[in-house]
Amino acid sequence: MVRVRSVEIEPNFHLRLTFTNGETRCFDMRPYLDLPVFRRLRDPAFFALAHVEYGTVVWPGAIDIAPETLYERSMAVVRTETSHHA
């Protein structure tokens, strides 16, 4: 199973994730912010408290999201520094 190794906060409630398989992917949390469990994440300061524990992304108050969801519903990050296409 692919797990989350690191997380960085991106603008507009996006997470930049590095997985244990070496992939870097971007996950959009916006579709989840209306769900009761994730409503506290609407506060950008609280959202920014995201960190990795047990191979997934967690926030204070026992808020987390499954690593499978993060991987399957995220988009691969294209490395623009090695790309010749804009």
* DSSP string computed for the chain: ---EEEEEEETTTEEEEEETTS-EEEEE-GGGTTSGGGGGGGSHHHHTT-EEETTEEEETTTEEE-HHHHHHTSEEPP-GGG-S--
The mean pLDDT value of the chain amounts to: 93
In this prediction the pTM is 0.88
Instruction: Output the CA angle 78-10-79, nearest 5 degrees.
Output: 15
Mean pLDDT within 18-39: 97
Above 80 in pLDDT, residue 83?
Answer: no
Supply the pLDDT for residue 80: 64
4-82 belongs to which CATH class?
Answer: alpha beta
Supply the pLDDT for residue 78: 80
What are the backbone angles phi and psi of residue 5, rounded to the nearest 5°?
-95, -40
